[in-house]
Amino acid sequence: MQHYSGFGLLKHSLSHHENWQRIWRNPTPKKKYDVIIVGGGGHGLATAYYLAKQFGVTNVAVIEKGYLGGGNTARNTTIVRSNYLWDEAAHLYEHSMKLWEGLSQDLNYNVMFSQRGCLNLGHTLQDMRDIERRVNANRLNGIDGEVLDAQQVKEIVPILDCSSDRRYPVMGASWQPRAGVARHDAVAWGFARGADAHGVDLIQQTEVVDFIIEDGTVIGVKTDRYGEIRADRVGCVVAGNSSVLAAKAGFELPLESHPLQALVSEPIKPILDTVVMSNHVHGYASQSDKGDLVIGAGIDGYTGYGQRGSYGTIEHTLQAIVEMFPIFSRVRMNRQWGGIVDTCPDACPIVSETPVKNLFFNCGWGTGGFKATPGSGNVFAASLAKGEMHELAKPFSMFRYHNGALVDEHGAAGVAH
């Protein structure tokens, strides 16, 4: 693998940047692998990377039906934070946060991780009580966080309307300074390049259409393009399509797939240097390095597999954004798109063994899994390497819906995160 550096950039400029190495191969799959990962999103690619790099399992294939990072990974609003209420979730997301902090160096690929801080606004007394509870819980878990009043919020984001006579006045916020954003495509590409360099085969434009299961044990997958490919273990990381693949393996998951939308505005001068989220009016925004406002909407009320989403939802989101930032009322929106997110009843992911031996699922990240990309890949890789779930993943077993040990972040966070 070619090492990226300032010197390399200078050297390649002499040949007009025409001789850069391809950043991953395009191999024909082998007949058999130690591990097959289904799904080339951020989570699947991170899993492959850590499997090869940290756990020495290099006979690995990632099988992706479209192109790498073409799913939710490069469709999200890129918010990274770890201020979850419940210990189990806080530990998992903080594990991820620590990996984010060294990721660009580790991958030798700039994922543009920017710790610009994140505000979660409170608009009611109950919001403020929940915020205090969550920040205290975070601090007990060693995660940075502060409770701010409206005045302090206004100092951080002067363009936010914090006047008390609004319909939904800003009463305060939780503030996680280490939170931020990352360049989502770069995250997928960085992990892909790293995995490829360690020998992982990245197989694109190939759909897994079925599993080969013998005596309750998975021994491979069937693909539309290369037929059967065998493996000792299979890990599925297919986000919105998880229910469809689980059905092929003969079991159900407690998931519902919904379209979730994002929109970006025309680029404007730097005006917002942090992430602002509001559960109550439901809108969140940040500004990309390019200058466009990146705005997240809510999920459609009904299930669907269409990567676009309904108009009513956009309207509702923009009402919330203009309520918070009247200054944005005349900014034009440039583009809008959707992703299919797999939501769980308790708004926490499933990183789990399944009723089929050697078949593992990592899914249910819903509206908030981008922040977990390195952490999810890391604990899933550890689990696939050993054939036994990593400690941090154990609370996220799919069987928690049978034994009642839910990790109910919905109760804590209310909405999309």
Partner 1 sequence: MLHIYCPHCCEYREEEEFHAKGQAHIVRPLDPDACTDQEWGEFMYFRKNPRGIHHELWVHAAGCRKFFNVTRNTQTYEIKEVYKVGEKPTIVAE
252 binds partner 1 (CB under 8 A): yes
Q: Which is nearer to ligand FAD, 128 or 238 (CB)?
A: 238
Q: Which is nearer to partner 1, 27 or 306 (CB)?
A: 306
Residues 333-352 interacting with partner 1 (rule: CB under 8 A): 342, 345
User: Of the candidates 304, 301, 294, 296, which has an alpha carbon nearest to the alpha carbon of residue 340?
Assistant: 304
What φ, ψ does residue 412 adopt, rounded to 5°?
-90, -40
Binding-site member from 312, 355, 387, 411 for partner 1 (CB under 8 A): 312
CA distance linking residue 377 with residue 399, whole number of Å: 21
Binding-site member from 110, 204, 303, 397 for partner 1 (CB under 8 A): 303
Q: Which is nearer to partner 1, 167 or 402 (CB)?
A: 402
Residues in binding contact with partner 1, number by CB under 8 A: 25
Sheet arrangement for strand 275-278: 146-149, 172-176, 118-122, 275-278, 283-287, 293-299, 256-265, 333-343
What φ, ψ does residue 379 adopt, rounded to 5°?
-75, -30
Q: Which is nearer to partner 1, 94 or 256 (CB)?
A: 256
- The packing angle between helices 87-101 and 125-140, to 10°, is 70
CA distance linking residue 29 with residue 13, whole number of Å: 35
Residues 187-226 interacting with partner 1 (rule: CB under 8 A): none
CB of 125 to ligand FAD, least distance (A): 27
Binding-site member from 311, 386, 387, 391 for partner 1 (CB under 8 A): 311
CA distance linking residue 327 with residue 259, whole number of Å: 29
CA distances from 313 to 210, 230, 300 (A): 35, 43, 7
Which of ligand FAD, partner 1, none does residue 194 bind to, with CB < 5 to 8 Å depending on kind? Answer: none
User: Of the candidates 368, 374, 371, 383, which has an alpha carbon nearest to the alpha carbon of residue 414?
Assistant: 368
317 binds partner 1 (CB under 8 A): no
Q: Please report, as ranges, the residues that interact with ligand FAD according to CB under 6 A.
A: 38-44, 63-66, 70-73, 75-79, 207-208, 237-239, 241, 245, 260-262, 296, 339, 341, 365, 367-371
Residue ranges that bind partner 1, judged by CB under 8 A? 241, 243-244, 247, 252-257, 301-306, 310-312, 342, 345, 401-404
